[in-house]
């Protein structure tokens, strides 16, 4: 905002131009596009692969670039991690996306379901959370006598 201030001291009058800059106070917390995500993963998915069917998205309404960049994390100990965030411009907001990546082999017999809490955090420490439910799909095995087990 620009303007002029009129300063008066007795009979002396002066006009002084000024510029005022309003700085974003980083008041907005990240918001996910869904509170709950669900995906199904084959137990034979190779380690290092991204779960391609699931894209996790969050945005921060703070207008200042320094306040809306997001990082993501998973709270639970699990065989999954998250990919590096990607930034997308969606209408008026910058949106960040990430995906699940398999870090350890899956075994349906040991754990058929994972419930993960994902946190998005902006540089000021404001956080948002969402839940991901991962259902492991059992792969039928063929025994030596030819039947499926």
With pLDDT > 70 as the criterion, what percentage of the chain qualifies? 90
The answer to whether position 18 is within a domain reads no
The answer to whether position 9 is within a domain reads no
The answer to whether position 1 is within a domain reads no
Per-residue pLDDT of 3-55, as tens digits, reads 888 888 888 889 989 888 877 788 889 999 999 999 999 999 999 999 988 99
Domain with residue 39: its CATH number is 2.60.40.60
Q: How confident is the model at residue 143 (pLDDT cuts 50, 70, 90)?
A: low
The answer to whether position 82 is within a domain reads yes
The whole-angstrom separation of Cα 132 and Cα 116 is 5
- Structurally, the chain folds into a number of domains equal to 1
Question: In sequence order, what are the beta bridge partners of 4?
Answer: 17
Higher pLDDT, 43 or 68: 43
CA angle, residues 122, 124, 126, in degrees to nearest 5: 60
Which domain covers residue 57, as residue numbers?
25-137
The whole-angstrom separation of Cα 47 and Cα 25 is 42
Other Cβ atoms within 10 Å of 113 Cβ, number: 9
Report CA Rg, the chain: 25
Looking at residue 34, its pLDDT comes to 97
The answer to whether position 132 is within a domain reads yes
Q: Which residues of 48-64 are buried (b: 16+ CB within 10 A; e: fewer)?
A: eeebeebbbbbbbebee
The answer to whether position 33 is within a domain reads yes
């Amino acid at each position: 905002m620009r303007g002029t201030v009129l300063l008066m001291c007795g009979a002396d009058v002066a006009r002084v131009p000024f510029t005022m800059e309003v700085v974003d106070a980083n008041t907005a917390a990240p918001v996910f596009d869904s509170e709950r995500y669900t995906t199904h993963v084959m137990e034979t998915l190779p380690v290092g692969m991204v779960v391609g069917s699931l894209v996790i998205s969050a945005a921060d309404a703070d207008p200042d670039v320094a306040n809306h960049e997001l990082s993501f994390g998973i709270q639970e100990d699990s065989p999954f991690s998250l990919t590096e965030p990607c930034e997308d411009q969606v209408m008026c907001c910058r949106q960040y996306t990430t995906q699940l990546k398999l870090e350890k082999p899956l075994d349906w017999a040991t754990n058929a379901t994972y419930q993960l809490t994902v946190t998005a955090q902006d540089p000021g420490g404001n956080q948002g959370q969402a839940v991901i439910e991962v259902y492991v799909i059992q792969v039928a095995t063929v025994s030596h006598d030819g039947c499926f087990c």
